[in-house]
Amino acid sequence: MIQVVRRALDILEYVATRPERACSLTEIAESLKLHQATCANIIKTSADKQYLEHVGRKKGYRLGAMAYNQNLILAAKDIMEELTGRLNETSLLGILRNQKRFIVHLVNSDQDLQVRSKTEQNLYETASGRLLLAYLPDKEKDNVIGATGCRSRTYGPKPVAAGRCCRRWTTSGKKAWP
């Protein structure tokens, strides 16, 4: 096997065995006995291709959306196709990534009129993004709201200070809006 491919897979496996936390570049390089610059290049490429996600400057990396795609799609594909067939409405499987809603898999309906959505979109601009936010554990929800603020119903450019408005619409009965 090509050495860089082996190293990339070793990095992905290392991060995958620690899903409860992010792994720093230094930790990964030292644990796998890789030169830090080599490790950084492999990690940057893996993050660019979304196999790893950079959580923060001093926080490190965790598995990205592409690392989960195949298992998620395999688990959800038949159910999504059945749901779309029954309702003749589009169904999508989305995740939150970098405070945005990211579509992992989409099953389109046969409707004549359909709305096309970008693969990656501000979570406040989509119903699915607001639902993903509403069902996050409180700590993660607070982190997202702290980073993005709480947008008004009109998706104005200025976020409202994170506080009662966000807490109310994300916890009260899991409603997306008050």
Percentage of the chain surpassing pLDDT 70? 83
Q: Is the pLDDT of residue 161 over 80?
A: no
The residue among 132 and 57 whose pLDDT is bigger is: 132
How many angstroms separate the CA atoms of 103 and 65, rounded? 10
Domains and CATH numbers, the chain: 3-63 (1.10.10.10), 67-171 (3.30.450.40)
For residue 14, the model assigns a pLDDT of: 94
- Which pLDDT belongs to residue 29? 96
Highest mean pLDDT among 24-28, 52-56, 167-171: 24-28
Rounded CA-CA distance 52/48 in Å is: 8
Q: With CA atoms as reference, report the closest residue to 157 among 167, 147, 168, 149.
A: 149
Is the pLDDT reported for residue 163 higher than 70?
Answer: no
The pLDDT of residue 174 is 47
Q: What is the pLDDT of residue 175?
A: 45
- Contact call for residues 40 and 77 (beta carbons, < 8 A): no
Using DSSP's 3-state secondary structure scheme, residue 168 falls into helix
Out of 125-129, 137-141, 159-163, give the one with best mean pLDDT. 125-129
Q: What was the pLDDT predicted at 98?
A: 76
- The kind and range of the H/E element at 101 are strand 100-107
pLDDT tens-digit map of 134-147:
888 888 888 888 88
Alpha-carbon distance 85 to 79, whole Å?
A: 10
With cut-offs at 50, 70 and 90, classify the pLDDT of residue 18.
confident
pLDDT at 1: 62
Structure-block tokens of residue 85: 């067939």
Q: For residue 134, what are its two tokens? A: 């509403």
> What would the pLDDT profile of 33-76 be if each residue is shown by its tens digit?
999 999 999 999 999 888 898 887 788 999 887 777 677 788 88
Average pLDDT on 22-38 reads 95
Question: Structure tokens of 138?
Answer: 């409180």
What is the C-alpha to C-alpha distance for residues 140 and 17, in angstroms, rounded to an integer? 21
Question: Is the model's pLDDT at 172 over the cut of 60?
Answer: no
pTM of the model: 0.55
